[in-house]
Amino acid sequence: MRIFSTLPRRRKLGCLLLCLLSPLLGAASVHLLQAGAEPVLAPHAGPLPVMPDTLEALRAGEDLDGDGLDDGLEGALARHHAPCYRFNAADPAAGSGAQSRDEEFFPGSVAAFLTSLELGVWQVDGETLSGAPGVFALDQPRLLGYPSGLSGQPLGTAPVYTHVYPVGLDRAVCEYWIFYPYDRADARLLGVSVPWGDHRGDWEHTAFRVRLEPPEIEHGYYYGHARCLLVPGQDLELVDGSHPVVYVSQGKHASYPRACQLATTGLPGFLLAHDDVANGRGPSWQSWQGPLIDLGERDAPRAGAARWLAFAGRWGPDGFQLGGLDIGLSPTGPAAKRSWGNHGPGQPWREAVEARGRLFDGAALD
Ligand SMILES: [Ca+2]
Ligand SMILES: [Ca+2]
């Protein structure tokens, strides 16, 4: 109970409801696995320190990450196919579910985040606050010591982290990774809105298999909630002919190829409604117009990621176990995931929409 007493109020409420309802859900027990305490923060004199990301030029004729693909081509491909991200906005006329609201939690820079972690200085709700300095070390099981609710950076200023590698002689895969300092996930439990799986740290990604000549996307892989949705190239919505659109679900940040709402559990909606709402009515981000930072390869990281790409721990302290399910675990980073350099198996995205949701704006699947 000592751990429980350190939790914020919203999370305590969620824990209590989970405990009360776990027999209904067929779960033997609810375990609080990694409930890291929130740091004690106080007003901080002076500005928020910001450490810029290291931008490394990728040069034609070089292959410094040793993947067999010309580094200049890697950089050109990543920018040519970088996504347009579209975020959510409240739409009372169409919305249902707890996440039908404006997006409030945006991407952040990893370099700036680690600087804040090590200095213990954070921007929370517009105030600059400080606490105990933390430590970032590659052998940590999880990052500790930072607060919930970090809203990220103004949209368009954080980098997208890229991983590009060849497939045979005439194709490549472009992965796009985004770090969000916070994931806010709510649900309706017996009709009452409660936190359900929100957590510190949130890594999200999409990937696209491309033909090199002529350049064209053959398949998209859209991730979220430990699942992969498969999208044929002809189903992708493109901006300027080459940039796929990624609809980002509010708060939880899962990726979809079209504006839609999907249930994320197989439970009856009257019991638990935990939907992704990705209507794309909020701000959009043309990521190719901002910083793209190539991560290199797992064993040959580029300078911009050399400090942290090998970190195999979780990027936050949160998470629950409900029976055999993991709920709201702070995630691992890009190179620690199974999907790094390895896409699919997955579910055809049309099948997922037909089974668990709907498209917005009256759009049809065909
Ligand atoms: Ca290379
Ligand atoms: Ca590469």
Q: What is the pLDDT of residues 196-246, one digit of tens each?
A: 788 999 999 999 999 999 889 999 999 998 899 999 999 999 999 999 999
Task: Give a yes or no: residue 199 inside a domain.
Answer: yes
Q: Which ligand is nearest to the CA of 72?
A: 1
Tell me the range of 33-42, 170-179, 273-282, 311-320 where mean pLDDT is highest. 170-179
pTM of the model: 0.91
Given pLDDT bands bounded at 50, 70 and 90, which one contains residue 323?
low
How far, in Å, from the CA of 300 to the mean position of ligand 2? 9
Which tokens go with 363?
A: 């759009």
Q: Residue 44: which residues within 8 A CB-CB, separation 6 or more?
A: 121, 128, 129, 130
Model confidence at 76, in pLDDT bands (50, 70, 90)?
very high
For residue 210, the 8-state DSSP code is: E
Counting ligands in written order, which one lies closest to the CA of residue 70?
1
Q: Is pLDDT at 157 greater than 70 in this prediction?
A: yes
Q: What are phi and psi of 116, to 5 degrees?
A: -65, -40
What's the pLDDT score for residue 231?
Answer: 98
Q: What pLDDT shows up at residue 96?
A: 56
Q: In total, how many domains does the chain have?
A: 1
**Rounded CA gap, 171 and 115, in Å?**
37
pLDDT in the model for residue 190: 84
CA of 84 to the centre of ligand 1 (A): 24
Question: Residue 353 Cα, ligand 1 centroid: separation in angstroms?
Answer: 37
Question: Which two three-digit tokens encode residue 216?
Answer: 């064209």
Q: Give the range among 84-98, 176-190, 199-213, 228-242 with minimum mean pLDDT.
A: 84-98
Q: Is residue 18 part of a domain?
A: no
**C-alpha–C-alpha distance, residues 163 and 7, integer Å:** 36
Answer yes or no: is 168 within a domain: yes
The reported pLDDT for the residue numbered 274 is 84
Instruction: Return the SS3 of 306.
Output: coil
Residue 59 maps to a domain: yes
- The answer to the question of residue 192 being in a domain is yes
Q: How far, in Å, is the centroid of ligand 1 from the Cα of 83?
A: 21
User: Is residue 1 one of the residues assigned to a domain?
Assistant: no
- Could you tell me the distance, in angstroms and rounded to a whole number, from the CA of residue 244 to the centre of ligand 2? 20
Q: Would residue 352 count as lying in a domain?
A: yes
Dihedral class, residue 145 (left if φ above 0, else alpha if ψ from -120 to 50, else beta): left
Q: Is residue 22 part of a domain?
A: no
Burial class for 300, CB neighbours closer than 10 Å (0-12, 13-18, 19+): middle
What distances in angstroms separate CA 43 from CA 40, 48, 127, one per listed residue? Answer: 11, 11, 8
CB 228 within 8 Å of CB 222: yes
Interatomic CA distance for residues 203 and 182, integer angstroms: 9
Say which residue the tokens 């740091």 belong to.
39
State the distance from the centre of ligand 2 to the C-alpha of 73, rounded, in angstroms.
10
Classify strands 243-248 and 84-86 as parallel, antiparallel or unpaired: parallel
Cα 60 to averaged position of ligand 1 atoms, centre (Å): 10
Q: Give the ligand whose atoms come closest to the C-alpha of residue 60.
A: 1
CA distance 319 to 287: 30
Range of the domain at 339: 44-319+331-359
| Cα 332 to middle of ligand 2, angstroms | 20
Instruction: State residue 9's pLDDT score.
Output: 52
Q: How far is ligand 2, taken at its centre, from the CA of residue 75, in Å?
A: 9
Q: 79 CA distance to ligand 1 centroid (A)?
A: 15
Backbone angles phi, psi at 62, to 5 degrees: -115, 155
Å from CA of 298 to ligand 2 middle: 9
**Which numbered ligand comes closest to the C-alpha of 62?**
1
The residue that leads in pLDDT, 126 or 307, is 307
pLDDT at residue 35, rounded to an integer: 59
Query: What distance in angstroms lies between residue 203's CA and the mean position of ligand 1's atoms?
Result: 23
